[in-house]
Amino acid sequence: MSDENISARKKILRQEINSRLKTLSQEERVQFSRVVVEKFLASTIYKNSAVIMAYLSTAEEIQLNEFISIALKDGKILAVPFIEGHEMKAVCLPSLDALEVGAYKILTVKRDVRQFIDAEKIDCVITPGLAFDDNFSRLGKGGGYYDKFLSRAVNAKKIALAYDCQLVEKVPIEPHDLKVDAVITPTKILEGGI
């Protein structure tokens, strides 16, 4: 299949998943997020990870603020994405109070407390995406930031926390698209031993 055809299929799937996500009520988002976060907190991957990278949730994603608070209380070293030019880096998040609104109205760690963490020192990356399948393929938003970053995070388990409506039969992938190691939804855990 040509790259052009795969790109077209990805675009259609992104539109379909975005439409599905819009049907979730605020109450469902809160409830489902809580269930998914609880499942992840109970996993051996969480328990065995000292350094965890998590994304700062947008409205349509699994909400991670509660997870971030718990992980910090548990003494985990927590990192969040920081975009600089065309590269994503991991920046340490000492507390939720260290966040401010940055470029593109995206939350970021305040400049005066910003410390970067080498990608290879991260044990687990909570990896966002729009769609996932049971082969652990992931459809991102199209920027390629996570694929590039994850290729450097060689010691990290890549965990997707998602709504059930984000599971699809098959995600179209290209050679540069990296897979996740597990997908956790409100009703499923794809991957043994987490």
Q: What average pLDDT score do residues 69-89 get? A: 94
Q: Report pLDDT digits (tens) over 132-174.
A: 999 999 999 888 899 999 999 999 999 999 999 999 999 999 8
Which residue is listed with tokens 């009520």?
25
- Say if residue 193's pLDDT is above 60: no
Quick one: average pLDDT of 13-36?
Answer: 97
Q: Mean pLDDT of all residues in the chain?
A: 93
**For 86-93, what is the mean pLDDT?**
94
**Smallest Cα–Cα separation from 131: which of 37, 42, 13, 25?**
13
Domains of the chain in start order, with CATH, are 3-190 (3.40.50.10420)
Q: What is the mean pLDDT of residues 176-181?
A: 92
Assign 1 a pLDDT band (cuts: 50, 70, 90): low
Buried b (16+ CB within 10 A) or exposed e, 154-185: eebbbbbbbbebbbbeebbbeeebbbbbbbbb
CB 119 within 8 A of CB 62: no
Its sign, for the CA torsion 18, 159, 149, 171, is: negative
